Every structure is written in C-alpha cells, then in structure tokens.
Structure 1
Amino acid sequence: MKKNISLFLMLFLSVLTFAQKTVSGKITDEDGVAIPSASVTVEEPGKDAILAYGITNSKGEYKVTFTSAEANVDLKVKAFNQKPLTKQISNSDQNLNFKMDSEATEIKEVQLKTKMITSRGDTIAYDLKAFDSKSDRTLADVMKKIPGIEVNTDGTILYQGNAINKFYVNGKDLMEGGYGTINNSLPKDAVQKVEVLENHQPVKILQDKVPSDQAAINIKLKNSVTMTGRGEVGIGADPFLWNIKLTPMFFGQKSQWVVNYKTNNVGEQVENEGNILAFGSGWEGKRINAAQNDWLNVENASTPNLPVKRYLMNSVHYLSANYLTNIDSKKEWELKANANYTNNAVEREDYRETTYQTGDLAGSKVINSTRNDFYTDKVKGELIFTKNAKKGFFKNTTSFSQFWNGDRAVAVREGRTGNESVESPTSSFQNSLSTIIPWKEKMVNFKSFINYQDDRQTLQVSPASYLLIPFRENAQSPIGTINFAPGSLAEQSFRLKTLDTSHSANISFSTKGWTFTPQVGFDFSTDKLNTNFDGITTSGNPNFNGPAYENNLKFTEVNPSASLGINYKSEAWSLFANMPVNFNNIKAEDDLRGVSKTLNKTTFTPNVFAQYTFASFWKASLNGNISNNFGDIKSAYAGYMLLSPTGFNVMDPNNPIPQTTTSSAGSRIEYRNPLNNLFFNVNYSLSDSKRNLISNPILDPTTGFTLMQYIEQENHAKSNRFNVEVGKYFPKFKTNASVSYGNTETRSDAFLDNQQFENKNNSQTYGFKFNNTYFEWMSIDYNGSISRTTQDSRGGRLGVNNGYNHNLALFFYPIENHTIGFNWDQVNTSNGTNKYNNPFFDVSYQFSWAKKKIDFELKWMNVGNRRVFETYNLDGQFNAITYTRIQLRPSQVMFTVKFNFK
C-alpha cells in the first residue's frame, strides 16, 4: 500500500510540475474581419500530438491553455477558405493576434464523415455508430463499449469512475434519475450521439456560480420528434417459460412519455429499472428510493457471485409509466408524473457448512440449509412540478409508496426444521420543495423535506422449539438456553412510525467568480417503536410475558444548524466548500424498559472539494470531510427482539447513545483526450471512523445462534483505497480496451481493544475489458477480473480467498442477417486446498428480418445444465470458513421475437 501511495503522489506531483501557460488573441482575415470557428492548436515541435486546442468565437477570439516542458511550442491556425499558418512561440503566457491570407479551396468531392469523439467546452460527444456491433440493439448495448463510460450491473452509468447526476433525452429529464428503462429499451437506431456534459450543474440559475464535480449524460436523438421503443416476446418449455418486454416511447419538443411492461420467469431482474440512480443537485431538494425498514427477517439462503440470470428463480410483473409536459408557453415549467407497480415472487435454496477455526469454538461445525419464498407487491406514484430557468428555480416532488411484502423460509439446522414467515406492510409518503428566487444581485433559497413512514412487521417461527436460543438475563449472568414447548408458535410483532423533516433557508452573494452562501437549517425527526414477543416455553425457562421482551421506545432528534457555503468557478478552478455547525440534541425514552438517554453536542463537519483543470485534457482534485453519526432507534431499544430466527438482539440500556466520527480525504487525477481516444483516472482515499460502542456477540457453538450485545469501548475502523483505470479506443482496429487495478485495505477493532484482536482485510482486484468489431464476420466482448482477499482475525491468519471471474460474448455473422452467439461466464474461487470452478455456457441463433427490423432468436442457456454453485467464504467476526452450495437455474431453451415499435 505504501508503494501505491508513493506512486500516486509522484504521478499527482508530476502533472503539476510544469506551470500552466495561456495564449489568447484574435484571428482576422486580410481585411480585418473576424474569423469565427477557426481551430487553434498547440503542439510540441517535431511531435504529432496536440497539447491543447481551441475554437474562435463569433468575434474571432480564442484562448488556449497548455502545459509543456519544452522551451518553444508550435501554434497552428486553420480556417475554411484561409491559408493555414504555423508559428513557433515561446512557452509563456502571451497575447497573439493573427491575420490569415485568403486561399480558395477547390472541392472536387464532398464527403460528410462524422468524428467518433468530439469535444467542445465541457461537452464530449460520441457518435454511436462508431462503437456498435451487428449484435447490438439498444442504447445500453452500445454504452458499455464507449471509452470513459461504464455501466454497472445495477444499471448505474459511470463516467471516469463516478456516477452521473442527470440523464437527459434531447435535453429533458423525463426519468428523474430512474433512467434504467430508457437505457435498456431505447433502440440504438434512434440515437444520433451520446453527449457527456462534464462538471454539470443542472440548476440553470446556479451555472457559472456553483460548480459541480459530476457529469451528466444527454442522449441526442436523430429526430426532434421521435416515436420509438422496443419489444420482445419470448416463450420456452420444461417448465413453461415466458419473457415479455413492451416499452413504447415518445420524445417530442413539448412532451415526452415512456410506458413499460415487463414480465418473465427466466431470471431477468427487471423490477429495479425504476430505481433512482441519479440524484441531481442538492439544490433541487431531496429524493430517496423509498424502502422498508427491514428489522424482522426470516433466514435467507445465500446468493452466488454470478450474473443474476444464473440463479434467480422468479415470476415478476413490472409496469411503469413516465410522463413529462411543458405547461407554459416559454417552456420553463414542467409537469412530470411517474408511477410503477411490481409483483414479484422469488424462490431460493442453499446448503451451508460453517467451521469455526480458532478460540473456544475451534473445530465446531454447524450444518444448515434454507429454502425461501420472497413475495414483493408494491406501488409507487410521484408528481413533480419544476421551473428551471436562468431567472429562477422551483421544484416540488410528492411521492407515495405502498408495500405488501411477505417472506417465507423452511430452515434446517442440526436436524431441526423451522417454518418461518414475515409479513411486512409499509406506507411511505415524501414531499420535497426547493425554490431559488433572484433578489437583486443575490439569490434566496428555501428547502423543505417531509418524510412519513409506517412499518408493520410480524415474524413467526413454527414450531418454536426450532429456536433453542442462547440467553442471559443480564451482562453478568451465565449463558443459558431457552427451550420452547414442542409444537408451539413463536411470534415477534413490530411497528415503527417515522417522521423526518428538514427545513433550511439561505442567501447567496456572487462576485468575481466567488459565491458565498450563509444558511440556517432545522431538522427534526421522531421514531416510535412498539414491539412484543410471544412464545410458550417449557417449565423453568424465562417468562416471555414480561417487559424484557417488549419495547415502547420514542427516539427524537432535533438538529438546528448554521453553515457557510463557499464556491468559486473559473476557467481552470472549481472549488466548493461547506462549513456547517450542528447543534445535536437526541433523546431516547422508554418508561417500560427504564430507558432515558440524552445527548447534546455541538459538531463542526466541514466538507471541501477543489478541482484544477489544465492543459485541456487534465483534471486534478482533492477532497476532505468530517461527518458525525449519533446512531438511531436501532441503537437504543432495550427489550429483547427476535430480529431473525438465528437469535435475539438487545442493546444495554446503560450504554450511551452511539457516536461515530468519520474523517476522510481523497485525491484524483483524471485525463480524457477525445483527440486520441484515451481516458484514465487515478484515485486514492483514506478514512478513519471512531466509535464509542463495540459489538460483543454471544455465540452458541452447538446451534450456531447468536445473541448480539454491545459494550462501551472506543474502537476504530480504518480504510485505504487506491484504484486506477486506463481505457483507450483504437479506431483503426475498432477496438475499445481498458485495464484497472484496485487495492483496499481495512482494519477494525474486533471485540477487545488489543492489537491481536484486530480484524484486517486486504483486497486486490485486477480488471480487463475488451471489445472488438474489426471483422465483418465477428464481434467479441470480454470482461474479466482477478481478486485476492487476505483476512486476519483474532491474532491469526483466517485465510486467503482467490477469485477469477470473466464473461466472454462472441457473435459470428456467417451470412447477412444471420447471427450465431456464444456466451461464457466463468466464476472460480479457492481457499487453500479448496477450489471450485463454475463455468456456464449459452448458445444462440438469430435471424434478422432487416426490412421490418424484426429479430427471431433461438437461445439455449446453461448448456451444461449446471444446477449448483459451490464456493468458500471467510467470516472474520467469528473466525469461520463457510462452504456454500446454492441452487441455480437449470438448462432452458427460449424462442424470442424482438422488434422496434417504429
């Protein structure tokens, strides 16, 4: 790690060694008339590499900034119908004006040829046709191949390793961050180019005042009014299989809409397409992915480190609709209405053998298996009013979500079988308001956020005798075992009502690139928790009717705050900092359990980011912040709760409110050059979290059940992360390739404040991506990674876990409109002498009816009919190694018809 840090610092300092120089001036013709759109480039003498470039504006003015170690550089100017000129200039800041001689250009033949990657200002545009292959059909298929852009498995789009903050289509944000539907279903033929808007500030009134370090994506369609979309209908047999996708879309100048219905039982996880993946700017208010407070859970079967389609046993129906329209003649006001409904059933099954390595449990082995049925039934609606103009901003978002979820499990542990179920209805309501009003030369911003959620959950275990839970009355008493009456039912009931509110007001002053924003805020939240456990025990065991198994807890947080925001933006520098002072007041009360805790603390939590852009293609940045977390209601309950059939959890009422202070810092160097199609970034970050409570679990080696408790003791969790990624597109060979390396080291105190009881984890990952469309008869995509994880705990080496994953997709085009596909997923794991290789193969044949743009596909998935996944995992908390065998999807054959709506 020290070598990584040194290497990063050397690289960081080397790019800043030479001072940045700027050449500016004006370019005119022989008569002194300004020449717009002339190109000005700076090159090192004798080298065919552009250091920097610029384009003259309508007044003929240009400005080029560059960095070079040479004493002199070549400045070249080119313009249509003008004679090109080259002048060697000194490597210094200077102002140079040029007059160009007229030179008529005889054009024998005009051939329009779009460049693959073009750049202008903070916008980089990619011509989609330059990166697609014959097998690609949707925008997502091509986006994965564009240099500098990545698409994660959850659909999140990354640019230079960072998540984007907006996803536009023809400049409009229809999906409000839930862009997965469009990315997966927009036909590539409808797209002209993909634009990356670097350092994108989505709030127009703040542009050139409040900088941003995030990029946005704008999909520019070929037509300003487009009716399009994608559909698939597939069926299979043994058992009966279906996969239906219908996603019509309309993109107009005044309105846009997308309707999406997807259903399948073939393992495609379509229900997450509506998740918010891009959250925009904090000035727009607050948006969250509504989720349940999942306190109570059945035992869950494991999931393998495989593509979801290999193991997901599902039956899903997902319906969504998104609509946007302008409601005024100036097209400043927008109304957006979004809704989605999910009905999903998932089956899962596994077998586990856990062997404890050290300590009193050394040699103990627990064998268990779990079979699950998970049921999701939820609906969400959202209404958004937005005005985003240079002279004002307004946004109000109202959303409502309702869940009717239920989970089931049949768990077998050491020969005992338990039937488990959780019912969990949840209602959730949010409203977010933000408005920015110009006031003379100032801006006034008001923000308000309200969130109310009501969670009800009931966990049942039958028979209750399955539990055999280890138990102690207090921290000093010896451990015992609760024995339930044979055939009885154990039931844990739970209800949590949550209200979160946040209100703030600020005023911004701008002068000479600086913007100062003093702000006052008031946050208030309250949680009301009521729980009860009921179970019949055998004689001589604890009584479950007492208050020890009940909670009636109220947890309140009041947080007034005052802060100063500082922003600066120039051509080369971007700076934003926030200096908040928070007055934290927390109170936890439960008269039933004798809980009465308070905390009053003033904290200073600064957040700073600085970015420097130089030599046209380089960016260097530093960031740092301090944050505090004072726990929540999960850290204050004092009545025993059966959160899972694996054991009771409880917090000691005498423990103080948890306090975690996290300090973190990071640095980044980024290079993106569309002229030679080269992109890379280097990142280093470190963090230290100081906590006042540490876990003290009690484990029964016979049953494997755990009683979670905590003790008051200062402890730390530290991490260092280093990663680098380099990507380049080779147009001559139609090849895009990238390599990456990551090293993460974490250290955390285990159960005692002693070096020999420290958990240590070091993970190294090597990645390689490659795609090629050079040959007319073949295209190839490859994505591979090698990982190595070393884990030490309780003073000894727990183990070393090695992994190798890859995905290879080959497509052959032997005859026009005919495609033969081959897909190979490989997942290997090893731990010492234990090694498991898991290969998966798919083959397909597709005929394309080119005239109608319809594809007919026959696909055989999991050709080898591999039914289980085997792997080893390390558990540092209990010094254990777990062998896991997980049920997978069997071999299946599908016939699918694919088509565009237009």
Structure 2
Amino acid sequence: MLKYFLLLSIFLFTPNLYSQKYSLTGIVTDSLLKPLAYTNILAKPLSKELDMAFAISDEKGRYKLVLKANESYTVTVSYLGFQSKNFDINLDTNITKNIYLKPSTNLLDEVIIINPVTIKQDTIIYETKVFMTGTERKLKQVLKKLPGVEVDKNGGVTVLGKKVNKLLVDGKPFFGGGTKLGVENIPADAIEGIEVIDNYNEVAFLKGISGSDKMVMNIKLKKDKKRFTFGDIEVGAGTDKHYLAHPTIFYYSPKTNINFIGDVNDIGVKSFTIKDYLDFEGGIGKMFSDPSSYFQLSKNAFSNFLGNQDFKNGKNKFGALHLTQAINDKWDVSSYAIFSKTQNKTQNETQNQYLSESNNLIEDKTENGLIDNSFFMAKLALDYIPNSTNDISYSAFFKSSTNENTNNISSLTQNILNNLNTNSDDKTITLKQNAEWHKKISRKHTSSLTINYQYDKSNPKNYWLTNQPILQGLIPLQNDLEFNINQIKNLQTHNLSLLFKHYWVLNNSNHVYTTIGNNLLHDNYTTNDFQKLSNNTINNFNTAGFGNDLALNINDLYIGVQHKFKIGIITVKSGIAAHYYQWKVNQSTKVNRDKWLWLPNFLTKIEFSKSEKINFNYNLMNSFADAPKYANKFQLSRYNAVIRGNENLENELYHSAKLSYTKFSLYRGIIINGNVGYTKRIKTIRNQIQLQGINRFSSPILTENPETQWQFRGNLRKTFGKVIVKAKSNLTLSDYFQEVNGILSKNKSNSKGFGLEIATNFKQWPNIEIGYNKNFNSFSTSNNSSKFTNENPYINIEYDFLKGFILMADYSRNNYLNNNNQKNNYEIANASLFYQKEDSAWGFKINGTNILNAKFKNENSFSEFIISDQRTYILPRIWLFTLTYKL
C-alpha cells in the first residue's frame, strides 16, 4: 500500500513541476527590531491567471511566500497599529527580505486591508473570499479550504486540531449550536467571513475567570443577506422509484432570524444522527454542562436508533425550524423544533462464539428487522441582559419519541434451530428546565446561580414469540404450542439540581472559586415479565422471583473550593470538593446509606506561546449506577439473557488523568496534537456472568479489583504548498477482572492503529484525498485470545471544471483478517456530477451511491464471553437525478 502512496505523491506534486517557483523569506519587525508575530503578508499577482499568495509570520516574525518565477507581484505587509508597507517583486531565485514597519500615527487615516487570516488573542478571523473559487455550494466546502480547518464526514469541525463545540451565525447559536446542520446546509454564497473563538463563554463578563475551554465558530453573513431570504430547494428522482426532497430556507434581519431545513428521502441519508442528538442534549444551559458533582447517569434508549446507518431499505423524514427574535437591546428569544421519522428494513447475519472454560459454543444467527421510529424535540430560551453586570436566562426543553422495532430471528446452535419473532415498543418523554443568573458584583467578585430540573418517563414493552422454549432454567415457562413471552417496564426520573458558584479575583494572578450545590435524583422503576398462553391465560413470572418495584433516591450535597494562580507561562488550578451522599433503595428490601467523599482536582496549563501549549488535568471521579442495576429481582433483557440488579451497590470511584500537547506553525505549515489519558478504577461495578450454552445470567457487583486503561493519540498535519500530508496514530491498553461461571479472570484488551492521508488544495486542478487506515485489535482472557486487523484504503476526488461542473467521487475498501485466517472484504463507491451555470439559479446533479453494488458490510467485536462476526446488508446501487433551485 505504501508504494501507492509514493506513486500518488509524485502525481500530486506534478502540477508544481510545470512551473518553477521561488521563495521570498524574511523577518517582520518594528523599528526597534522587535519581531511582529502574526503579521499578514499578501502577494497579489498582476496576472489574473495566477492565484494570490499569503503568509502569516510566526512568533519570531518569520514569514515565507512561495511565488511563481518571473511573474510580477505587489506585496502588502500589514499589522494592526502599524503603517502598511507595499513593494513590487519579481523572483528569478530564492531571496531573503526583512521588513520593518513603523507605528501608525493616525489610525483614522489607515487604509483598510483585507487580510486572509487574522490572529489576535483567542480569535482567528478568516476572510473567506480569499480562499473561495465561487463553485462552493455549502459551508462544508468553504471550511475545507481554510488553513488549519478540517471537516469530517459526520459534520464535525476542528480548528488547529481542536474540536469546535458550537456553531454561531452572526453571534447566535444555529439550531442549538451543533455543527452538522450548519455545515451541511448554510449556503456558501451567503458567507462574508468566519471567526473562530477559543475559551469562549456565553456570559461575556465570565470570560477569563470561569476557565471555559470551549471553541466556537461564528459565521458572519454578507451585508446583503442581513435582511434577506436565501437558501435552496433540491428535489430528485432515481432508479427503482427512489426520491429526495431537501429544502433549506433562511431569513435573516437585524432582529429576526428564521431557518428551516427539511429532508424527505429513501436513499439512506439521515439529517439527524446520534452525534447531533448528543450535541442537543448538552445544550440546555449556559453554565455547567457537566459539573463534577452531577451523577453520571446512562443515556436512555431514545438514542439507540439514531446510530443505525446501515439497512437494506430506509425512508427518512426530517423537519427543523429555528427562530430567534431580539425583542429589544435587553431581551432575546430563541426557539427551535425538530421532527424526524425513520422506517428501515435491516438484515444481519452473525456468528457468535461463546467463550467458557469447558467449551466454546457457536451460534449462527440471522435477523430480519423493521425499525419504525419518530421523535420530536423543541427548545425555548429567554435571555435578559439588563446591563453589563447582569445576565439572566431561562430555557425549557421538551422531547418525545416512539421507537418500534420488529425482528425475526433464526438461531442455530448445536443443530437446534430456534425461530423467534421479537417486538419492542418504547415511548419516552423528557422535560428539562434551566434558570441561571450571573452577577458581576464588583471588579473582584462575580457570582453565578443555576437551577435545573429534568423529568424523564419511559415505558418500553418487549415481546418474544418462539417455537422452542428459551432460557430454560432461568424463566418459568409452561408448555404450549408456541411460547409468547411479554415484558412491560416503566421508568420515571426526577432530577433537581442547584448550584451556586462565586468567583473572587484576588489579583490578576490569583483567583479563588467557591462552589455550593445539591443534586437530588428520584427514580421509580417497575418490571412485569409474563407468558401469555394460547388459551389467553397469563403465566406471571413473579412467583419465580421476577417483578421489580423499585424507588431509588440519591442526594448529593457538596461544597468545593479552587485556587487558580498564574506564574509566567504557567497556570495552575487546584481544588477539592466535599460530597455528602445519601441514597435509599426501597423495594422488597430496604437500603439506607450515606457517606462522605473528598474529590480533589488539579489542572495545569503551560503556554509557551500562542501556538504551543501543554495541559495536564487530573480528577478523582465518582458515579452511581442507574436504577435497573439496583432492582433486586429478575428481569428479561434479551431472548437469551436474564439480569438481576443488586440493592447493595455503592458508588464507583476512579482516578482520571490526561496530558495533552498542541503546537501549530502557519509559517512552517505544521499542526501537531497529542494526548495521553490514564484511568485507574478503585471501585467499579462489574457483572457476574453465568453462561448456559448461549443463555446468559448476569448480576452487577461492586469490586475493588484493579482496572487500568491507557490511551495514546497523536495527529500530525504538514502542508507542502498545495499538498497536505496527515498522519495519525492511536493506542489503547486496558485490563480488568471479570467473573464468568464462578471463575475470576483478568482480561486484556489492546487496540492500536495508524492512518496516513495525502490531500491537495488546488483551484484549477482536481483535488484528491487518498488515505490508508489500519487497526490491530486483540483481546485475551485466561483461556482464550482473539486478534484481528482492519485496513481501510480510501480515495476522494473533487474537480471543478468547464465553468460550472463539479465532479465528486469517493471509494473505500475494508479488509478484515483474524487469527483464524478468516477474511472479510467489501468495497463502497459513490460519485456525483453537478452543473450550474454562472449567475443561474438552477442546478442539475446526477448522483450514484454504492456504485459497485456491495451487498453487505462486515463488523467484528469481542468481549469477556463472546466473539462476534456480523454481516450487515446495506442499500443497493442507486442512481438519482436531482434538480436544485437557489432562492
């Protein structure tokens, strides 16, 4: 594979061989010879056929411009507060030219110069028109052309290696702030510029004292879009009656913003994914999204279907409406509503190898499923800023979902065939409310108060219909013509949290933060498992130890203090929090306990320069299990699994540490990111597992067996003119103890991998991304071990040609090999051709997905008791013709 990289590298560098280029280098200083960091140097060619070149000086004032030989350029050097300098140059060799700037005597008379990139303190400003060719359709294509910015296939954005946490449009969150909807839908021709703000805080006077590490991206709209309706409408039809409709409509004015995004298709495109859902989940309030005092509760089942991206047939309907209104200069109202409905047909073939000391049992399983899910979510937010020292906000969030899943399962074990029909039906409701008040009392004292309330209700129903008795010895089945097993569960959760935090600025180098709060959780959880006989009588499992009726209360009262100080380039924040926990478990038996915990935390930041930083973070973490793990009676979890909770569970406790390093140099065109994570569990909850063939019984216990995990990640990005080379690596080492069939064994899991990519950023040539990823995984227990490798070569092509045509294509191959020499391979290819005449509102597109008509994908997984090899069937080849109209 590496030889292909070498050949492609030669191909990618070929355009540069047709024209000789030379370098203009030097140092930019003031009149006292002090280097001026982040000075903009812009070279405008006299020939209209050449691209503009630009550079930004580094901390030492160094710059480098690469210009075409024997061509004339006008070079402009600009720095805020200094007089700009202009000179003409024509290179026939590499030369060095140092530049001296004089302080500006009259800022009002300065000529406004458009700098491609401006860096000041925590903000990077991109003038997007310098990088755009005019063929870009959406924000995603614009971002890919900006230096230091990367966009992944899921719509996630990173800048200089750091993740963008929130997306703003003209300073306001776009649909809650998640990046995907904005990246894939905001029209490119509406964008004036892009700002990236690090260490962002929604409350202006908390910036610099709250310690926020968030990064946001703000999209600035063109002036003619400030009171204008824009967007586009896309409709398509294809082979086998496939269809697509995708309208995006935006209205922006100084006080009112309205955005609508719609999507109806049956080609497997999901406008809303699990990542988007989690982004919206975390966006309820301004203040503390995850304070250390909060219980770490598991996510509900609502998110499960959002992650399913592979199916034989899929229909998706999506609609999102976003409204913001500035009532006056003190009041702002923001709201959004999102609806999504998916109907998918799935087919999976799985081979499960169940591991035990006595023998390894093989199960061959085929599943055909129908998934029908819908959800609605809405948020209302009110912001009141009466003056520069007060910030008051209220938000309410509502979510409801209906998730239905029907499966036909064929399970073959030891020549015994079992056919099952399963059905699950889950209706959930969530209501969140948040109120916050931030007050700057004086220059030295600032306080914040937040109150959060969340209500969740879920009532999942599960049904299993089978021709053979299942879970024999675990559930009390009565003989019948067929076995109809039912389960009804109900879970209601109330969570009320209050948090007060005071910031005391002793001086510029010393801050003291005090936190007082309380978090109250109340859960009601019931289960009812039974068999419905063919004569319509009920065989209730309660007599065999089933039927849970649990009330769980957990309260956390805490107080904490932190001291933050800065010495030179080093910032240290250390603290400790005292937590008084009380929990009550009320069911057939009652448990009433309490305890004190002291949780220290420590943070160190070393900032060698704006472009080079080291962070170290340590926390002693604590978490409680969710309600089902405390329910002490049996309950069904799958057609081959029964679980029982443990009312005597206590909290988990573990050390968590992370060391990260970041360095970038626009002068050298290099970005480096690396981090090391370490987790050591002192107390942890693990399941005791009993295997009987393919059947499984498990129950959680609190153990003090040592568990550790190391994580190493590194990324390198280097630019060579118009060619970008990326390299990444990862290594995860973990070990833990697990009890299976009464035998305690130490399990080890190792995962390591690397990736290489070469990409181009030409304006007149095809742009190509070619990459190769390889991962090595191993898992071992006391008597079994499993190893497998995955490799993934891929290539993406984008080519703008003939004044209006855009060709896009991608290809990827996945190769799997395990230690038994089993191999699985599949290839996926997609392509599209788009045409839009300049100054025309109409566009035409031919799009082909899964062109090679791959039938399925392969996935592999392992755990302490099972190794799975799964084949997932996917959508067939689809050709689609699309018509677009730009508003």
CA shift, 1:27, in A, is 7.9
**Alignment match, 1:118:** 118
SS at match of 2:762: coil
CA shift, 1:198, in A, is 1.9
SS at match of 1:819: strand
Conserved? CA contact 1:311–1:888, under 8 Å: yes
**Alignment match, 1:107:** none
Q: Name the CA shift for 1:556/1:100 in 2 (closer, same or farther; >3 Å).
A: closer
Say if 2:502 is the partner of 1:507.
Answer: yes
Say if 2:851 is the partner of 1:856.
Answer: no
Instruction: List, as ranges, runs of 4+ consecutive aligned residues in structure 1 with deviation greater than 6 Å.
Output: 26-29, 81-84, 101-104, 110-113, 287-292, 300-303, 752-756
Say if 2:607 is the partner of 1:606.
Answer: no
**Alignment match, 2:256:** 255
**Alignment match, 2:422:** 420
Q: Which residues of 2 match residues 394-793 of structure 1 at below 5 A?
A: 394-414=392-412, 415-441=417-443, 442-463=445-466, 465-466=467-468, 468-472=470-474, 482=477, 484-513=479-508, 514-535=510-531, 544-546=541-543, 548-568=545-565, 572-590=569-587, 594-652=588-646, 656-701=648-693, 704-711=694-701, 713-730=703-720, 732-733=721-722, 735-751=723-739, 757-774=745-762, 776-793=764-781
Conserved? CA contact 1:234–1:894, under 8 Å: no
Distance in 1 between residues matched to 2:800 and 2:407, nearest whole Å: 47
Distance in 1 between residues matched to 2:431 and 2:284, nearest whole Å: 21
Distance in 2 between residues matched to 1:217 and 1:386, nearest whole Å: 21
SS at match of 1:180: helix
SS at match of 2:527: strand
The letter of the residue matching 1:565 is Q
Q: Name the CA shift for 1:762/1:741 in 2 (closer, same or farther; >3 Å).
A: same
CA shift, 1:103, in A, is 13
The letter of the residue matching 2:470 is L
Distance in 2 between residues matched to 1:81 and 1:843, nearest whole Å: 47
Distance in 1 between residues matched to 2:878 and 2:376, nearest whole Å: 31
Distance in 2 between residues matched to 1:420 and 1:640, nearest whole Å: 20
Distance in 2 between residues matched to 1:488 and 1:41, nearest whole Å: 75
Q: Name the CA shift for 1:49/1:848 in 2 (closer, same or farther; >3 Å).
A: closer
Give 5+ residue unaligned stretches, structure 2: 1-28, 40-54, 63-78, 88-99
Conserved? CA contact 1:166–1:280, under 8 Å: no
Distance in 2 between residues matched to 1:531 and 1:295, nearest whole Å: 19
TM-score, normalization by structure 1: 0.80
**Alignment match, 2:810:** 823
CA displacement 1:524-582 (0-9 Å, x = unmatched): 1110112111115899x996242711111100011111111334568845444452211
Conserved? CA contact 2:302–2:403, under 8 Å: no
**Alignment match, 2:825:** 837
The letter of the residue matching 1:407 is N
Which one scores higher on RCO, CA 8 angstroms, separation ≥ 6? 1
**Alignment match, 1:14:** none
Q: Which residues of 2 match residues 806-821 of structure 1 at below 5 A?
A: 806-813=793-800, 815-821=802-808
Distance in 2 between residues matched to 1:154 and 1:111, nearest whole Å: 41
Structure 1 window deviating more from structure 2 (284-293 vs 772-781): it is: 284-293
CA displacement 1:476-523 (0-9 Å, x = unmatched): xxxx98565222421101111110000122332212123322222111
Q: Name the CA shift for 1:301/1:684 in 2 (closer, same or farther; >3 Å).
A: closer
Distance in 2 between residues matched to 1:646 and 1:527, nearest whole Å: 27
2:791 counterpart (804, 808, 812): 804
CA shift, 1:813, in A, is 4.5
**Alignment match, 1:293:** 300
Distance in 2 between residues matched to 1:101 and 1:789, nearest whole Å: 59
CA displacement 1:606-653 (0-9 Å, x = unmatched): 232222222332111111001111323122112211122232211245
Conserved? CA contact 2:168–2:177, under 8 Å: no
SS at match of 1:509: strand
Conserved? CA contact 1:793–1:876, under 8 Å: no
Conserved? CA contact 1:302–1:350, under 8 Å: no
Q: Which residues of 2 match residues 254-293 of structure 1 at below 5 A?
A: 254-272=255-273, 275=277, 277=279, 279=282, 284=287, 286=289, 293=300
How many residues align structurally?
796
SS at match of 1:446: strand
SS at match of 1:176: helix
The letter of the residue matching 2:738 is A
The letter of the residue matching 2:610 is S
Distance in 1 between residues matched to 2:702 and 2:678, nearest whole Å: 26
Q: Name the CA shift for 1:543/1:212 in 2 (closer, same or farther; >3 Å).
A: closer
Q: Which residues of 2 match residues 169-318 of structure 1 at below 5 A?
A: 169-223=169-223, 225=226, 227=228, 229-272=230-273, 275=277, 277=279, 279=282, 284=287, 286=289, 293-294=300-301, 308=309, 311=311, 313-318=313-318
Conserved? CA contact 1:312–1:346, under 8 Å: yes
SS at match of 1:744: strand
Structure 1 window deviating more from structure 2 (671-680 vs 445-454): it is: 671-680
SS at match of 2:836: strand
Distance in 2 between residues matched to 1:321 and 1:99, nearest whole Å: 50
Q: Name the CA shift for 1:453/1:103 in 2 (closer, same or farther; >3 Å).
A: closer
Say if 2:875 is the partner of 1:900.
Answer: no
Q: Name the CA shift for 1:898/1:565 in 2 (closer, same or farther; >3 Å).
A: farther
Distance in 2 between residues matched to 1:42 and 1:134, nearest whole Å: 27
CA displacement 1:742-763 (0-9 Å, x = unmatched): 1111111122799982111111
Conserved? CA contact 1:40–1:78, under 8 Å: no
**Alignment match, 1:92:** none
The letter of the residue matching 1:850 is E
Distance in 2 between residues matched to 1:736 and 1:131, nearest whole Å: 16
Conserved? CA contact 1:174–1:324, under 8 Å: no
Conserved? CA contact 1:296–1:644, under 8 Å: no
CA displacement 1:436-475 (0-9 Å, x = unmatched): 1233442232110001111112111124x54510435xxx
The letter of the residue matching 1:258 is N
The letter of the residue matching 2:730 is G
Conserved? CA contact 1:40–1:77, under 8 Å: no
The letter of the residue matching 1:863 is I
Conserved? CA contact 1:187–1:900, under 8 Å: no
Distance in 2 between residues matched to 1:135 and 1:321, nearest whole Å: 27
Q: Name the CA shift for 1:696/1:145 in 2 (closer, same or farther; >3 Å).
A: farther
CA displacement 1:728-772 (0-9 Å, x = unmatched): 344x32x33321111111111122799982111111121233331
Distance in 2 between residues matched to 1:103 and 1:548, nearest whole Å: 87
Conserved? CA contact 1:292–1:426, under 8 Å: no
Distance in 1 between residues matched to 2:104 and 2:315, nearest whole Å: 70
**Alignment match, 2:142:** 142
Q: Name the CA shift for 1:413/1:257 in 2 (closer, same or farther; >3 Å).
A: same
